Each structure stands twice: as C-alpha cells, then as structure tokens.
Chains A and B, each alone.
Chain A
Amino acid sequence: MMTAAALPSDKKCVASGQPATAVLQVKGLKAYYRTRHFGVEREVRAVDGVTFEVRSNEIYGLAGESSSGKSTLIKAIAAAMRPPLEIVGGTVAFAFVPGGKDLHQATSAEVAAIRWRKLSYIMQGSMSVLNPVRRVRRSFEDFAAPHLGGTGASFEARVREHFALVRLDPNVLDAYPHELSGGMRQRVTIALATICRPDFVIADEPTTALDVVVQKDVLGMIRNIQREMGSSLLLVTHDLGVHAYVTDRLAIMYAGRLVEEARTPQVFASPQHPYTRHLIASLPRIGDAAPRAGLAGAPPNLASPPSGCRFHPRCPLAGDRCRRETPSMTVFAPDHRVACFAVSGGTA
C-alpha cells in the first residue's frame, strides 16, 4: 500500500522556498526544423527562445497543446535530435554532465555514459518500450544490465529490490507484455526508467494512453518514486488535471515559447497570462455547469508565426505593442514569471 506516511518529507524544503540547486538549466533554447527541398527552404520554429530551470527534487510540469513545441523541447533537452531538427541557439546544461558542458557539445561516449544512469525517460506507449516477444525480465536485462553491471543472481536481486521499492509484484518479471494490463505495463516502464536511480527523468505524456481509473494510481506511483529517489522529473502533458495532481511547478507553453511559469497551485489560483487564464477558466468541473467559452481561432502555424507576441491574434487584451514586440518572461512575483505586456506593468 502506498501511503502518505511512507513518503520522505524532504520535498518540504523545496516547497518552503529555500534555494534549491538547478539540475537542468535551459537558456534561450531555439530548436528549428529546417528543410531544403528543391531549393525551397522552410523553417519551423518549434522551440523559439525558451528559458527555464528544473531544480533538484522537484516535478516540473510542462503544459501545452499539440504543436506548441513540447515534444521538440524534450528532444532538444535530451539531445535526441535528428535532422531536420537543429539547435539554432541557446544552451542546455545538466548539473551532472562533467565539466558543466552543454549536452549537445558532449561526445557520444559522454552522452552514452549519462543515458539511463543519469537521464532517463518514461514514454507514452509502454507497448513500444517493452519487447513484445520477450519476458519483462529480458527487457530489464536489455536496458539496465549494461548500465548497472552484474549478471545473473546479483542483477536479479537488484531488480527485485527495485520492484519492492516501487511496489510491483516480482511475478510480473516472468510475464510477457501482452499479458499485462495497460496500467501494469506503464508501471513496468516506470520501474525500468528508474532502476538506475537517475538524477533526471523525462516523462512524456506518461498516462495519456491509460484509463482514467488507472491514471491516478500510475501518477501516484511516479510521485512516490520521485520523492523516494529525490531526483528531478520533467513531466510533459497537455492535461492540466495531471499537472494539478503531481507537479510542483508548472510552465505553460504556447506556439514554441513559454508564456507563464509558477508553482502549480499558483498557476491554478491566480493565472496571469491571458492564455493561461483562458485554459484554467475553461476547465469543466463536476458540480459546476456554468457556461464556458471556447477560445476563438487556432494555434498558429510555426512555419510562419505571427509577429510580436504569438498569442496576439487570439488575445482579448492585444494592443499595438503586442503586434510589434515580443514580450519576454518577466518576474511577476517570487517564483512566478509571465510573458505578457498587459501583465508586467507596461501598457499593451
């Protein structure tokens, strides 16, 4: 049984605002898709000047709708890029990369030493992570044995110890992936991603493919493991309910840029950016049937984004300045940054 009492309470030091060290620092990151076909150049600015940091022992949430650049941002952070995606500017620095090097400048041997041991991933489709024709135990051997070392009995003991930690039945090791339910498979994937006790875990829509009833349990498991390991977790999903349930801080992304970042309760209690405000206000809640408005227009095409603030064509507060200039993320309150002229004091 997972209980609150079993949790170490060291997250309190983060919540109480004591300075926590940054595990990941992203500064002015720009990642574009650049294609050149038959002499026609095309540039999709999927991530365009994103700056944030993820501190030790916290769950940092990143929310945004499809084509807002969330997935591109993850690829850029994890240095898992393939052409036509290129880093055009900015830096991605992990505290655990030797010499404070940018991950993109690290040699492939250095990156290989970090992957899975220091930096690991929880992906959406657990079926595509686990090998369908091999027992779960084999997947653990394939993934983790090269990183953990040890063979046979000692490795098995290590896996069982980890299963006990994440409260998974060790009999699952003998099952084939198709014999497990979706929720159980995702739990196995989480166990697989955390067995090396990584410093940083990237979770990309970890519960989107799961049923509502199972979703809450799996999220609880992610939170418990993170608290027990004390590592940092970057959780990316479009579902604000998930963010409300597990994340400590939350950033909202729109059309390739961050528009707001604050402690999660703060985002829900007093959103400042017009886009965030709309998102929060339009969430349907059981017990409240008051009419909720949709937002006019559609997210922009990032191959030809609007000038100035990318939200201005849909923004109720947009003024002339928003069409000309790009607002930068400005500190609105402690631990609360907003990129909007109407909020940061200036006239819109």
Chain B
Amino acid sequence: MMAPLLGLSHVSKIFGATGPLGRRRVPAVSDVSFALQAEAPEIFTIVGQSGSGKTTLARMILGMEAPSEGSIRLAGNDIGHARGARARRLFMATVQPIFQNPFEAFNPLRQLDYYLFLTARRFGQARDQRQAQTSADVALRQVGLSLPEVAGRYPHELSGGQLQRAAIARALLAKPKLIVADEPVSMVDASLRMSIVNLFKTLRDELGISLIYITHDLATAYYISDRILIMHEGVVVESGDARTVLADPQHPYSRQLKDAVLVPDFAGTSVVHDTMEMSGTQRPL
C-alpha cells in the first residue's frame, strides 16, 4: 500500500507564553489527524473562526512550524526531517502555499515576473531564462493570464483578483502535488471570487492537485469541497463529506457556524421585508 500524500497523526501545537506568573500553555491545535490520498486528488477544507487554529495547522503542514506532538508525513516522510536546503527544496516542490492577501505575498518593489522566473528555476524544471519564460507562460495560461500581461509589471498595477491568479500560477510552477491555500478569496472582489474558486476545481480535476482550502466562509466551502474539517479552539469538532456535514451539522458549534451564515435569499418575496425581524439567534449580551 502506498503511503498517503499527506498524513497527519495526532498533531498538536502548544505555544508557550512566559508571563510574570510562570509559563502559560496555549494549545493552538489539539490532536488533529487526517490523510489525503495521492491517487484521489481532492479539495479538503478546514473551516473555523479566527483563533480556531486553522492557520497554525496550515503553517505546520507547510513546515513553517513544528508540531509539539504527533507527526506530519508527506508521502511517508516526516516533514520535520526535511532539514537542509536540498530536502527543503524537494519539500517545497511538492507543497506550495497561497496566502490571503496577494498584495502582501509579493514584494511591492519587485516586478512580478521576477518571482515567477525564480520559482521556475528553483523548484521547476527550467534550466535557463528561456525555459523559465516558457514555463511561466504555461502556468499563467492555466490560471487565465499570460506572460505578456504580467511581464514587467508591479503588484500594484494588477487587480486583487489578477494578482491572486498570479500567486496561484507561481505556486503551479513548482508542479506541486499539494497546495495549501489560507483564505485565498477573502480579499478578492465579489465579481472575481467565483472564477478563482472555480480555478481550484480545475486544478484538482485537470492537474490532479490536492488542495487544502482554509476558510471561514461556509458557502464557498460547500461549493467546492470534497471533505471538510470544522475546528473550534484547536479541536476538530466535526469532519466528513462536505455536503453531508454542511447540510446537517451535528455538533453544536457547527450548527452555530451554519446559523451565522447570512443567507441572501428572498426568492419569491417581492416587497415584504419582515424576514428581517428574525432575531431568534441573538444571544444575551
């Protein structure tokens, strides 16, 4: 049996905070286990509000943070053992990140193509500048852009949606097996958001890339996810098939999360606006 693409077993992360009364232990992630299979690429969603530990979990999967307990294995190898430049480079060619704010992910003083060429040469197969240009163009076309549109331009010259696409293209240059996307569409405008979300589906279906999609937005989670993991204060409260879980959440927190979704539905109503008066979910202040 082949080792899974990514396997987390009993992963915990405890941050220590030293105060005047000694050390305080802050558990950010507690005992999380799941596995992504290499032969079945999927969109695996981690949902939770801020402070739920979802970003800490992503940082651990990206090898930016070491777990306090448990192990994270990539194709059977513990990622904590990927020390040294060579092992790290190999790791980064397999796992690539996409961050929330593309304007913060790129240096504002550097032209965009610099990053694309750098990634192509370091993690991709490109050996010289010509090959780097070719592979950058291929990657940009996969996300609906092209090299002439991006070459020589600075991040501020592109819209948020275009820049996030460029960030995805940069991640694709490494030909990764897994992309970890932390809130990739929450900074993107409404009219462009769905095209990026649809792009993730294309990456899964056509390039066979698995995606860990981290979000607080249950509606897009329902739209693209295959499986879902709901986290609350570092603990997984519910997980399973995304449609099943979101259609009928069992854990009280998952239900609370679903109830908090503002549903823009007035189908059938014309002018009466009294659906507004449903304050039943209000908690005592």
Q: Which A residues contact B (CB, under 8 angstroms)?
A: 1-4, 7, 15, 17, 65-67, 167-169, 187, 211-213, 215-217, 219-221, 223-224, 238-246, 248, 263-266, 268-269, 275, 278-280, 282-287, 289, 291-296, 298-299, 314
Cα A66 to Cα B163 in complex, Å, equals 14
* Contact indicator A263/B265 (Cβ below 8 Å): no
Which one, B217, B222, B263, B277, contacts A4 given CB within 8 A?
Answer: B277
Cα A144 to Cα B47 in complex, Å, equals 40
- Chain B min CB distance to A169 (Å): 7
Is B134 an interface residue, CB under 8 A from the partner? no
* Contact indicator B256/A213 (Cβ below 8 Å): yes
Considering the complex, give the chain B residue whose CB is closest to the CB of A279: B190
Cα A244 to Cα B278 in complex, Å, equals 13
* Contact indicator A284/B270 (Cβ below 8 Å): no
Considering the complex, give the chain A residue whose CB is closest to the CB of B278: A4
Is B82 an interface residue, CB under 8 A from the partner? no
* Contact indicator B266/A298 (Cβ below 8 Å): no
Chain B neighbourhood of A215, CB < 8 A: 260, 262
* Contact indicator A298/B192 (Cβ below 8 Å): yes
Q: In B44-89, which residues have CB < 8 Å from any A CB?
A: 49-50
Of the candidates B189, B246, B257, B269, the one having the most CB atoms from chain A within 10 angstroms of its own CB is B189
Considering the complex, give the chain A residue whose CB is closest to the CB of B219: A284
* Contact indicator B219/A269 (Cβ below 8 Å): no
Given A1-B282, A213-B257, A248:B273 Cβ within 8 A? yes
Cα A16 to Cα B163 in complex, Å, equals 46
- Chain B min CB distance to A3 (Å): 6
- The contact string, 1 if C-beta is below 8 Å from chain A, for chain B 155-170, is 0000111100000000
* Contact indicator A289/B265 (Cβ below 8 Å): no
Chain A neighbourhood of B1, CB < 8 A: none
* Contact indicator B246/A299 (Cβ below 8 Å): no
Is B216 an interface residue, CB under 8 A from the partner? yes
Chain B neighbourhood of A7, CB < 8 A: 277
Q: In B227-285, which residues have CB < 8 Å from any A CB?
A: 243, 246-247, 256-274, 276-279, 281-285
Is B10 an interface residue, CB under 8 A from the partner? no
- Chain A min CB distance to B232 (Å): 10
The list of the 6 closest CB pairs from A to B, nearest first, reads: A294-B195, A241-B262, A65-B189, A244-B264, A284-B219, A265-B266
Considering the complex, give the chain B residue whose CB is closest to the CB of A216: B260
Is B218 an interface residue, CB under 8 A from the partner? yes
Cα A15 to Cα B278 in complex, Å, equals 16
* Contact indicator B189/A292 (Cβ below 8 Å): no
Which one, B162, B247, B285, contacts A286 given CB within 8 A?
Answer: B247
16 more contacts with CB within 8 A, not counting A275-B191, A294-B194, are: A7-B277, A67-B159, A211-B50, A238-B189, A240-B190, A241-B263, A265-B269, A268-B266, A269-B267, A284-B222, A286-B246, A292-B194, A293-B198, A294-B195, A295-B194, A296-B195
Cα A224 to Cα B258 in complex, Å, equals 23
* Contact indicator B190/A282 (Cβ below 8 Å): yes
* Contact indicator B277/A212 (Cβ below 8 Å): no
Is B220 an interface residue, CB under 8 A from the partner? yes
* Contact indicator A269/B277 (Cβ below 8 Å): no
Q: Which B residues contact A (CB, under 8 angstroms)?
A: 49-50, 159-162, 189-198, 216-220, 222-223, 243, 246-247, 256-274, 276-279, 281-285
Chain B neighbourhood of A289, CB < 8 A: 222-223, 243
Considering the complex, give the chain A residue whose CB is closest to the CB of B258: A286
Cα A217 to Cα B256 in complex, Å, equals 12
Which one, B50, B246, B264, B270, contacts A283 given CB within 8 A?
Answer: B264
- Chain A min CB distance to B119 (Å): 23
Which one, B197, B265, B283, contacts A244 given CB within 8 A?
Answer: B265
Cα A214 to Cα B189 in complex, Å, equals 22
Which one, A15, A242, A263, A284, contacts B223 given CB within 8 A?
Answer: A284
Cα A7 to Cα B276 in complex, Å, equals 12
* Contact indicator A269/B273 (Cβ below 8 Å): no
- Chain A min CB distance to B234 (Å): 15
Which one, B162, B191, B277, contacts A65 given CB within 8 A?
Answer: B191
Chain A neighbourhood of B159, CB < 8 A: 67, 298-299
Considering the complex, give the chain A residue whose CB is closest to the CB of B225: A289
Given A15-B271, A216-B281, A299-B191, A294:B262 Cβ within 8 A? no
Chain A neighbourhood of B279, CB < 8 A: 2-4, 220, 224
* Contact indicator B190/A65 (Cβ below 8 Å): yes
* Contact indicator B218/A286 (Cβ below 8 Å): yes
* Contact indicator B273/A264 (Cβ below 8 Å): yes
* Contact indicator B285/A295 (Cβ below 8 Å): no
Considering the complex, give the chain B residue whose CB is closest to the CB of A17: B271
Considering the complex, give the chain B residue whose CB is closest to the CB of A278: B191
Cα A215 to Cα B279 in complex, Å, equals 13
- Chain B min CB distance to A265 (Å): 4
Cα A241 to Cα B246 in complex, Å, equals 18
* Contact indicator A287/B264 (Cβ below 8 Å): no
- Chain A min CB distance to B131 (Å): 29
Chain B neighbourhood of A212, CB < 8 A: 49, 216-218, 257, 260-261
* Contact indicator A168/B285 (Cβ below 8 Å): yes
- Chain A min CB distance to B235 (Å): 16
Cα A66 to Cα B161 in complex, Å, equals 11
Given A211-B50, A240-B190, A279-B191, A169:B285 Cβ within 8 A? yes
- Chain A min CB distance to B30 (Å): 20
